[in-house]
Chain A
Amino acid sequence: MEIIANGIRPDHQVIFDMIDPESRILDLGCGTGDLLHLLAGDKDARVQGIELDEKAIYECVRKGLSVCQSDIESGLAEYPDGSFDYVILNQSLQEIRKVFFILREALRVGSKVIVGFPNFAYINARICLCFGGKAPMTPSLPYRWYDTPNLRFLSISDFLDFCAEKGFAVEKACFLNGQKTITFWPNLRALGAIFLLSWGRGINH
């Protein structure tokens, strides 16, 4: 299915559609703030960003956004429980060291977490590794082995297993390949995935 994105990044459009109007939103690793700007403007959301890069922060402030400079791992600590309706972790999960810790923290300060990451098991990546014998490079994993910021190389299936094991409930999932959403065999055919997570029922956290 084609995503109608009107010049908006497809992953941003998917996340945008997952979020209820007038929500409180924290974006971890918000970059130059395009997504938050969209949410603040068109969803009347109350937004806050966390970002490490100084230049990206200038861009956010230029857009009228509020951003605290911090890395993702230490950015959540002071927020009280339930400070936000959604915590967004888009395209940064694979760069994080303490994955479970961050997701648990995100679900402490927010009711729901939106996670977006590149799929390492995309067919071209498999071909690259299997037949080319080389570390895969795909549109969603564009880096070479020596300059990638990624620490984690996970597939959609890996992440689903992880959620089941840790007790995260997958409320929504969307699998992307460019402008298209993928329904069949997403682990093979999708370049990236976006999950809406909450704590599963009966999970003691």
Chain B
Amino acid sequence: MKATLKTESMKTASGDLSCSLGVVETKYFIFAEPPAALKLESGEALGSVTLAYETYGVLNKEKSNAILVLHALSGDAHAAGFHRGEASPGWWDAMIGPGKPFDTDRYFVICSNVIGGCKGSTGPSSIDSGTGKPYALEFPFVTIADMVQAQRRLIDFLGIEKLLCVAGGSMGGMQALQWVASYPERVRSAIPIATALKHSPQQIAFNEVGRQSIMADPAWREGNYYDTGQPERGLAVARMIGHITFMSDLSMEEKFSRRLKNDRFSFNFGADFEVEGYLHYRGANFVKRFDANSYLYITKAMDYFDLSGGKLINGRALDTRFLVISFKSDWLYPAYQSQEIVRQLKQKQVDATYCELKSTYGHDAFLVELEGQTTLIHHFLEKTYSGERNGNGNHR
């Protein structure tokens, strides 16, 4: 298990403690009390809604330095710093903090959770005030646009008219793109990382295998497992598949090769290889922190997401700047999908920077402290912010 723990810490290591945010807390924004419930894309309504979020740094007087950071499928609002008593920092601590690319000495960084999730925001495991029981499958379907609509309410609540930047990787990138599509006038710049305008059949297929794994577990009980315990086996397998897709062939070779957990084959079906141990560990860990129904809902939202065919920028000229990043070894969200985003931006003559970064980490690369990503984001934000302060709408 040593190897797995090492990998875990590699991904979240914040490096120098002096540039850490220290102790942070998750906050909760409650809105859309019925009858003013949140109208969803499916036609259904959701209310009241709780949205978990964290903020780092200070909002300036002009409220022009706010950056919204968005997380991936299994992420949460805890992007940086430490929760009291916890040893590991938030999921993007490498990127957010004093002196880091999302520099909390300059910017007011907000990380918002998503509706449909299970990390403090309203989702299928939340109590339905109508019935007094968890929603389970009574929870309405939510889309990426719905998640973003809820986040917009949070940004309204925080009194921010225009975000300096929306940024995120994977599903976080989808939300960033959706922000531009839904509220172009409220976004000064966007950084979609390792993401796509739509899921390919391959990506949908992986998600579907994950969902089927959950639903095939007898403990799932059509989603009504909140009294009996969640479908741990199904959810763990879904997560194991996920982890395979997040890594690259090379990163798996480097991390595990064919190393054995013990020195010899066991000649049974236990975990012989380190890679098996790693997947089991990841699966077992995941079921402790993630709700199976949320996994179903959120993966479905990702599969429904589609801003292809000119839907990213509809209508008039857009003065949102873009930094699009992909990774060479990411085969789950291959570079061609990021290039597709860039193509749409070129067609609409939108100010865009795109770079495919060399990395062996696969899809996970965006979570790792990569020098290229750090440099690009740091300078891109600096330019955007200086343009904003000079009252220069157009990037020159």
A interface residue numbers (CB < 8 A to B): 40, 44-48, 54, 57-58, 60-62, 64-70, 77-80, 83
Contacts and interface: CB of A to CB of B under 8 A. Distances in A.
B349 interface: yes
B394 A46 contact: yes
Contact of B351 (A57, A66, A77): A66
Interface of B: 321, 323, 342-344, 346-347, 349, 351-358, 372, 375-376, 379-380, 382-383, 386, 394-396
A127 B53 CA distance: 72
Given A64-B379, A64-B383, A79-B346, A57 B396 contact: no
A65 B376 CA distance: 11
Contacts of B343: 77-78
B396 A58 contact: no
Nearest to A64: B383
Contact of A54 (B342, B372, B382, B394): B372
A19 to B, nearest CB: 14
10 contacts: A46-B394, A48-B351, A54-B372, A58-B355, A58-B372, A61-B375, A61-B380, A66-B321, A66-B352, A68-B354
Given A61-B376, A64-B379, A68-B352, A40 B342 contact: no
Nearest to A39: B396
A54 B357 CA distance: 7
A69 B396 contact: no
A61 B86 CA distance: 36
A69 B349 contact: no
B379 to A, nearest CB: 5
B376 A68 contact: no
A57 B371 CA distance: 13
Contact of B396 (A44, A62, A83): A44
Given A61-B379, A61-B380, A64-B379, A69 B356 contact: yes
A186 B66 CA distance: 56
Contacts of B321: 66
* 4 A-B pairs with the lowest CB-CB distances in the bound complex, closest first: A78-B346, A64-B383, A68-B354, A78-B343
B353 to A, nearest CB: 5
A79 B349 contact: yes
Contacts of A45: 396
A39 to B, nearest CB: 10
A58 B375 contact: yes
A47 B395 CA distance: 9
Nearest to B344: A78
A48 B394 CA distance: 12
Contacts of A62: 375, 379
Given A40-B396, A54-B358, A54-B372, A67 B346 contact: no
B379 A54 contact: no
A57 B375 CA distance: 10
Contacts of B376: 57-58, 61
A38 to B, nearest CB: 13
Contacts of B353: 57, 60-61, 65-68
Contacts of A46: 394-396
Given A54-B355, A69-B354, A69-B355, A80 B372 contact: no
B188 to A, nearest CB: 14
Contacts of B352: 48, 66, 68
Nearest to A60: B353
A48 B386 CA distance: 18
A78 B344 CA distance: 8
B347 to A, nearest CB: 5
Contacts of B355: 54, 57-58, 67, 69
